[in-house]
Amino acid sequence: MGRAPCCDKSKVKRGPWSPEEDETLKNYVNKYGTGGNWIAFPHKAGLRRCGKSCRLRWLNYLRPNIKRGGFTEEEDNIIISLYAKIGSRWSVIASNLPGRTDNDVKNYWNTKLKKKLFGRNRSNSHLSTKATTTTIDDPIPNLNNINLHGSSSSLTAANDFFIDDQLYIPSFSTPLTQSKLTAFTYDSYNLITDELHTRSLVPGLIQYPTPQGHQATNSSSQEASRTISGSPSSSSLTLDQKSRLFFPFANMGDDILLGDFGLGFADDRGGVGYCGQDDDEQYEIKHQVHSFSRCY
DNA sequence: AATTTCCACAACCGCCTAAGT
DNA sequence: TACTTAGGCGGTTGTGGAAAT
């Protein structure tokens, strides 16, 4: 049995708010406040609306100091950076943007910013835009929703997808509108790196492998369940090498977004350092990092 | 000019969580 | 401790206007 509805849908008005309703809501809140009970609010204020609807209308449009439209470059960068770190937690992202609401930020991301970054347009709008699906045109997937499987033993085609038990790299052609993700397994690690280095196929990312059999110590069972197998030995790697991600074609100073990990920048060798203080922490972080994106 | 398609965004739905009892 | 409930949140849908055909 489902949850009881918060109000009788047949007795409340739905759809767009009229100026009169807005005025009634505003006047009541200005006089008496919200009363701390949105469910009882519409009755007290004389509105034939669901309490949730009143709350949303007030929070997103009628309360003072709401900014509408006209996102600045700086706001764009904050959204992009936070999205890469925490995914689609719009309320958290919005809390970092004074005057912006979660709904506004979410709509802005879905309709403009994502396209601005990844170049979706009418000609390719057939590509999925479902937020719960990680698609080839969305190089910063929501890590909470990733549940994609597939295997590939060699450099894959762009549409061959990945995730569990595999490392993968995003690759970029120029311009960014051609961005795509390319997956590879540990088994194909050498092949990939050789391809990247010798043929300069695409600007991309190389991640050093974790030692064979190493498992994340993360308490999350989802993360910990990602057992790495078949990885080449890393005994020849120095700690410095192990602690870096390599963007062999990045320019020094390039900003690079690491999904679920944060913002880094390429050093003079195109490397991006981990934040981890010790081996275990670095490996733990490594297991959490599943997406990468150049930030333009 | 009429129709269709696309886009932006307001609003809704349903799930989760914290607080109250 | 278990249950109820309102608030909060993210995903999705509906709608009006703009653009394309």
DSSP string spanning A213-272? T-----S-HHHHT----SPPP-TTS-HHHHTEEE-TTPPTT-EEEEETTEEEE--TTSEE
Which pLDDT band holds residue A111 (cuts at 50, 70, 90)?
A: confident
Q: Which nucleotides of B are covered by protein (CB under 7 A)?
A: 6-16
Q: What percent of chain A has pLDDT over 90?
A: 0
Which pLDDT band holds residue A117 (cuts at 50, 70, 90)?
A: low
Q: What distance in Å separates the CA atoms of residue A260 and residue A116, rounded to the nearest whole number?
A: 21
Domain match, A156 and A283 both: yes
> Which residue from A50, A4, A47, A6 is spatially nearest to A23, judged by alpha carbons?
A47
Highest mean pLDDT among A8-12, A71-75, A187-191: A71-75
Domain match, A55 and A155 both: no
Q: Which of A38, A62, A86 is the last residue of a domain?
A: A62
For residue A78, give both structure tokens.
Answer: 């904050």
CA/C1' separation A112–B21 (Å): 46
Assigned domain for A4 exists = no
What value does the mean pLDDT take over residues A111-132?
46
What value does the mean pLDDT take over residues A56-62?
87
Q: Does the pLDDT value for residue A54 go beyond 60?
A: yes
Assigned domain for A39 exists = yes
Domain match, A156 and A286 both: yes
> Which residue from A102, A16, A21, A14 is spatially nearest to A66, judged by alpha carbons?
A102
Domain match, A159 and A286 both: yes
Domain boundaries, position A28: 19-62
Footprint of strand C on the protein (CB under 7 A): A 3-4, 6, 15-16, 36-39, 51-52, 55-56, 88-92, 102-103, 106-107, 110, 130-132, 142, 145
Domain match, A183 and A47 both: no
Assigned domain for A237 exists = yes
Domain match, A53 and A153 both: no
Q: What distance in Å separates the CA atoms of residue A216 and residue A285, rounded to the nearest whole number?
A: 8
Tokens 């679920």, residue located: A260
pLDDT at res. A124: 32
Highest mean pLDDT among A37-51, A131-145, A231-245: A37-51
Which pLDDT band holds residue A270 (cuts at 50, 70, 90)?
A: very low
Backbone angles phi, psi at A122, to 5 degrees: -60, -35
What value does the mean pLDDT take over residues A24-31?
87
Domain match, A58 and A166 both: no
Measure CA to C1' and name the residue nearest B10: A16
Q: Does the pLDDT value for residue A269 go beyond 60?
A: no
Q: What distance in Å separates the CA atoms of residue A259 and residue A158, rounded to the nearest whole number?
A: 19
Domain match, A42 and A154 both: no
CA/C1' separation A286–B11 (Å): 40
pLDDT tens track for A91-108: 888 888 888 888 888 888
Q: Which of A35, A62, A89 is the last residue of a domain?
A: A62
Specify the nucleotide whose C1' lies closest to residue A54 (CA).
B11
Assigned domain for A101 exists = no
Q: Does the pLDDT value for residue A141 go beyond 70?
A: no
Footprint of strand B on the protein (CB under 7 A): A 2-3, 5, 9, 13-17, 49-50, 52-53, 56-57, 60-61, 68-69, 103-104, 106-108, 110-112, 115, 121-122, 125
pLDDT at res. A85: 67
Domain match, A56 and A154 both: no
Q: What distance in Å separates the CA atoms of residue A103 and residue A109, rounded to the nearest whole number?
A: 10
> Which residue from A170, A167, A175, A184 is spatially nearest to A141, judged by alpha carbons?
A170
Which pLDDT band holds residue A263 (cuts at 50, 70, 90)?
A: very low
Assigned domain for A91 exists = no
CA/C1' separation A122–C20 (Å): 11
What value does the mean pLDDT take over residues A127-153?
28
Assigned domain for A178 exists = yes
Assigned domain for A100 exists = no
Assigned domain for A141 exists = no
Q: What distance in Å separates the CA atoms of residue A32 and residue A23, rounded to the nearest whole number?
A: 14
How many domains in chain A?
Answer: 2
Average pLDDT, chain A: 50
Which pLDDT band holds residue A118 (cuts at 50, 70, 90)?
A: low
Which pLDDT band holds residue A6 (cuts at 50, 70, 90)?
A: low
